[in-house]
Amino acid sequence: MPRSVLILAPTTDPHAAALDWALRLQGVVPLWTPSLPTGPDTGYGFHIDAGGEHLSGRVAGGDRFGAIWNRRLEDPAPECAEADRTFVTWEWKLLQRNLFALESAYGDALWVNRAEAARRAENKLVQLQVCRRLGLAFPETLVTNDAEQVKALREKWGRIVFKSFLMHQWEQRDSGKKYAVGVTLLDERSDLPAAAIAVCPGIYQRYIEKACDLRVTVMGERFFAMSLRKAAGDGYVDWRPHSKDPSMRAEAVSLPAAVEDKLRALMRELGLVFGCIDLVVDRQGDVYFLEVNQAGQFLFVEEMVPDYPVLRAMTAMLASGRTDYDVSVPTAVTMKAFMASDAYAALTERVRGKTPDRRLFSLE
């Protein structure tokens, strides 16, 4: 009997739903939970002494799991008296943090990705620092809330790009109109109000005159790279809002060997098994790193480039518990088949009414 897979994600996560469906087709029944299940029937126990250590309980270790997918880990939500909630929640949260930080508690299970590595890799400045050490090119970057420093960077490069650390959306109360903080191009005509910039830090980068964007989905040893550009042949300031435009062209590409080697080194340095890497290519053909999202979206890749079996690849990696998986093993696993399945219909029902203005498969 194959070992199980632990999927750490809420029940409304489309990627978790797709993998739960795909794994079951291969005879692997995963345990899907957003966090450590809580309650009196969970029976957790971690025993350690000079002779060894052992984890028992509902989400136990040993040989039960061949892979653990840290898709969207949430804090435990215990049932308890309201007066005790803060203390009890923190106790469960710290137990989860302790257990998931142990390499030994889950035996030889493949983590995608380990909790400690995932938290560190979420830091954009850590990513850039590693890139600098590896010699992987990236745009000059400034993180600041000082308008004078922003102006100096703009004067140096002529055009710069503003980004926020987090995606942020809001709605105007009187009109209901929705807004979002996105990638913004700043040039000599852009206003840089000191008071507004001082409110909170932002990320400012040299703007690269793009030939195209590259989205590289790394799944273990395999790289799925695609280029994204306008039909006219040049790149977008930000391709994500244009993903449904008829003018967008998405194509499978091969990375230069030197770039791929450095990206593999980046993933090793960050301790990541999986990640979605954003790169840009300038008009001279030079490649620049922007960021890696260790829990990025990837199923849209298969919709844009059907030759890339990313759902099958992730299924194979989790089912085998290996980064050098055989992608040909899981049969009948495609995005098209998933979206025609009862599992997809059930997912649609679960998310109905929760976030009506957001597509199931976004492009983080």
- Ranges of each domain in the chain: 4-113, 140-206, 210-294
What's the pLDDT at 2?
Answer: 66
- Greatest alpha-carbon pair distance for the chain in Å reads 69
What's the pLDDT at 356?
Answer: 41
- CATH C-level class of 140-206: alpha beta
Gap between the Cα atoms of 66 and 323, Å rounded: 12
* Residue 134, helix vs strand vs coil: helix
Instruction: Kindly report whether the global pTM for this prediction surpasses the value 0.85.
Output: yes
- Residue-wise pLDDT tens for the chain (364 aa)? 568 999 999 999 999 999 999 999 999 999 999 999 898 888 888 889 999 888 888 777 656 899 999 999 999 999 999 999 999 999 999 999 998 898 777 888 999 999 999 999 999 999 999 999 999 999 999 999 999 999 999 999 999 999 888 777 667 777 776 666 678 889 999 999 999 999 999 999 999 999 999 999 999 999 999 999 887 777 777 777 777 778 888 999 999 999 999 999 999 999 999 999 999 999 999 999 999 999 999 999 999 999 999 999 999 999 999 999 998 877 789 999 999 999 999 999 998 866 544 444 455 6
* Residue 114, helix vs strand vs coil: coil
What's the pLDDT at 146?
Answer: 94
Gap between the Cα atoms of 25 and 99, Å rounded: 30
Gap between the Cα atoms of 30 and 3, Å rounded: 9
Sign for the pseudo-dihedral over CA of 6, 16, 70, 287: positive
Gap between the Cα atoms of 201 and 226, Å rounded: 32
CA–centroid distance for 167 within its chain: 13
Both structure tokens of 75: 């804090």
What's the pLDDT at 169?
Answer: 67
What's the pLDDT at 359?
Answer: 47
**Cβ neighbourhood burial of 312 (10 Å; 0-12, 13-18, 19+):** buried
Domains 140-206 and 210-294 share a fold: no
Domain 210-294: assigned CATH number:
3.30.470.20
CA–centroid distance for 351 within its chain: 20
- Are β-strands 31-33 and 4-8 bridged in parallel, bridged antiparallel, or unpaired? parallel
